Structure 1
């Protein structure tokens, strides 16, 4: 039986240009509430579409020191 990794996979910015705030927070090691608080403070870059917040995948990868 193969071991499962608990680490989230890094999304490809070309395939998924945006991700949800909780997904971005998970990549950064944050929980759901902390993710939305960080987005509200501007620590996680977001795009507002109506009442929906999306996070540009490339910007999250840049925050992690990875190239998009």
Structure 2
């Protein structure tokens, strides 16, 4: 067995906020407005890494 962490396809809103250089509350509001791509799984709000990277590179989501 290896001790490698699984590759995650999503990050939390807090992690996205950190990458974007904005606050937690501002990130939640931006996700609510659709400015940050997000998906809801149960009670968790997650940001797909690929969609965030496309958004940051200026490509259409």
Shorter-chain TM-score tier: 0.7 to 0.9
TM (norm. structure 1) is 0.69
C-alpha distance in 1 between matches for 2:38 and 2:17: 12
Unaligned runs of 5+ residues in structure 2 are: 1-6
Unaligned runs of 5+ residues in structure 1 are: 1-14
Count of residue pairs the alignment pairs up: 53
Higher helix share: 2
Q: Which residue of 2 aligns with 1:38?
A: 30
Q: Which residue of 2 aligns with 1:64?
A: 56
Could you say what the CA RMSD is over the residues aligned between the two structures, in angstroms? 1.8
C-alpha distance in 1 between matches for 2:50 and 2:11: 10
